[in-house]
Structures are given as structure tokens and as C-alpha cells.
Amino acid sequence: MRVSTQAIVLTSVKYGEADMIVSCFTQTAGLKSYMLRGIFKSRKGKFRPAMFQPLTQLSVEAIHKDKGTLERLVDAKVTANYSSLHSDLAKSSQVMFLSEILKMSIQEHESNPQLFSFLSSALVGLDQAKKTTNHHLKILLDLTRYLGFYPDFNQSDGPLFNAVDGVFQRTHQDLDLSGLSVSQDLTQLHVTSFESCGQLELNRTSRSALLALLLEYYQYHVQGFRKPKSLEVFDQIFH
């Protein structure tokens, strides 16, 4: 079936000497992977490797057989012309990190327009932001709302965050609860808008602790989730 849809590139991997496999989250069909033949060899083809950098937003024409195999991409055009997302060192490190998170977290093969809209807007906002030290944290937290396990900030029985159940409660000897400081930072991140999260006052230690808490939370709630391979590099640049 021939489809027209918006898409966000999650990963692109060179296959053999000339081909590329591109994994995308599409607006109308969820996760899809495409084989691009000869993209590294032909200069006359309609596709260029730069079009498929992680988190690039595209408008695509594709043939979907929906059989769990690689699909065929007919046409693609970049729809969000980022000004700094792939050129600024801090932002490009966030792109590398977030693309790995999204690849592990998004597991649906059907339409989720709310999730797609959130990601599209967040990436444009990240590209336009001047101070981005906290944006990856805000995206990680807000993403859980669309994945179905946003923390329950309304029902609070205490100041400490329980990453297993996604609730706040008092300390208990049988529970491995997050510390008070990082739990407070999580609450502050919750009430801070995406546009304002760059002004959130977090030092290097607090930011690293909050990121570790969020990744732990994902490990509890996303099947097969593991710490991103890019985390070490990301920590060196960003924390």
C-alpha cells in the first residue's frame, strides 16, 4: 500500500558498502524501517545520507507491505530545517542520546498522533533553545506521559519518589526510594514548562542524579530498556 506520512528518523545504519537501513517513527503507521539501496554510491538518486540523520523530520512517500519486513521508501523531503540541532555540540549530543532512548522506548507499530506531535514540537523547541542543559531531562519526563507511565504527582503520601510504582511516599526500610533532593528536582521539573526548563537551576551533580533516576524509571517500565550506549559520551559533554 502506498502511503504519505510525516516521519521522524530514529536511527540510520549503513548496510554493506552502499545501502542504508533507516528506522523511523511515522505519524500514521508507528515504527517503520526502510532499506535505501545505493544511497552511498549514487550521486543522482533522490536520497542523500544527510537527510537521514537522527531525529530529522521528514515527509515521506512509501510502500508499506506491513509484514514486519523492511519497507520501501519512494520519496522523502525534510520538513523541519533545523538551524543548530545537528551542528551545535551540546545539541547534537542530546540528539544522539535521545534517538537511542526513543529507539528503545517506542515499540508501537500503529498510529499515535499525540506522541508524534509531542516529539515534533519538542525537537523544534530544542533546536531553537539557547540554553539546553535541562531539555533532555524534560523530554524524558514528558515522554513518559505518552508511553503510559507518567509519575503520579497528584497523589503524594510523602516526599520520596518510588521509581517502581511511579508515586511519592514516605521512607520504608523495604523500599529502595530515591533521595529527597533528586525527588524534589523531579517535582520541580514536572511543574516547569519546556520553554522554561533551561532556566531551571540544577548543578552538575543534581542533573546527573536526575538523569540517573529517569533512566532507572524507564528500566522499570519499558520492556527491554537498558542504559544507552551513548550515555558515557553524553555525560562527558553534558554533565
Q: Would you list the domain boundaries of the chain?
A: 1-81, 85-239
Q: Cell digits for 121? A: 514540537
pLDDT tens profile 123-156: 999 999 999 999 999 999 999 999 999 999 987 7
Average pLDDT over residues 209-233: 91
Q: Which CATH architecture has domain 85-239?
A: Up-down Bundle (1.20)
How much is the pLDDT for 30? 94
Confidence of residue 108 (pLDDT cuts 50, 70, 90): confident
pLDDT tens profile 49-86: 999 999 999 999 999 998 878 999 999 999 999 999 99
How much is the pLDDT for 177? 61
How much is the pLDDT for 198? 86
How much is the pLDDT for 175? 57
Q: How far apart are CA 39 and CA 43, in angstroms?
A: 8
Mean pLDDT value across the chain: 91
How much is the pLDDT for 156? 72
Q: How far apart are CA 91 and CA 118, in angstroms?
A: 18
pLDDT tens profile 170-179: 876 555 566 8
Whether 29 has a pLDDT exceeding 80, the answer reads: yes
Three-state SS letters, the chain: CEEEEEEEEEEEEEECCCEEEEEEEECCCEEEEEEECCCCCCCCCCCCHHHHCCCCEEEEEEECCCCCCCEEEEEEEECCCCCCCCCCHHHHHHHHHHHHHHHHHCCCCCCCHHHHHHHHHHHHHHHHCCCCCCHHHHHHHHHHHHHCCCCCCCCECCCEEECCCCEEECCCCCCCCCCHHHHHHHHHHHHCCHHHHHHCCCCHHHHHHHHHHHHHHHHHHCCCCCCCCCHHHHHHHHC
Confidence of residue 215 (pLDDT cuts 50, 70, 90): very high
How much is the pLDDT for 223? 94
Whether 235 has a pLDDT exceeding 80, the answer reads: no
The 10 Å CB-count burial string (b at 16+, else e) for 46-60 is ebeeebbbbbbbbeb
Of residues 161, 94, 122, the one with CA closest to residue 25: 122
Of residues 75, 81, 64, 6, the one with CA closest to residue 36: 75
Whether 159 has a pLDDT exceeding 80, the answer reads: yes
Q: Cell digits for 198? A: 533551561
The reply to whether 85-239 shares the fold of 1-81 is no
How much is the pLDDT for 173? 56
Q: Are 161 and 177 in contact (CB under 8 A)?
A: yes
Q: How far apart are CA 96 and CA 104, in angstroms?
A: 13
Average pLDDT over residues 173-186: 77
Whether 238 has a pLDDT exceeding 70, the answer reads: no
Confidence of residue 116 (pLDDT cuts 50, 70, 90): very high
Confidence of residue 41 (pLDDT cuts 50, 70, 90): confident
Q: How far apart are CA 162 and CA 179, in angstroms?
A: 10
Domain 1-81: assigned CATH number: 2.40.50.140
Q: Are 1 and 66 in contact (CB under 8 A)?
A: yes
How much is the pLDDT for 63? 93
Q: Are 163 and 217 in contact (CB under 8 A)?
A: yes
Confidence of residue 1 (pLDDT cuts 50, 70, 90): confident
Kindly report whether the global pTM for this prediction surpasses the value 0.85.
Answer: yes
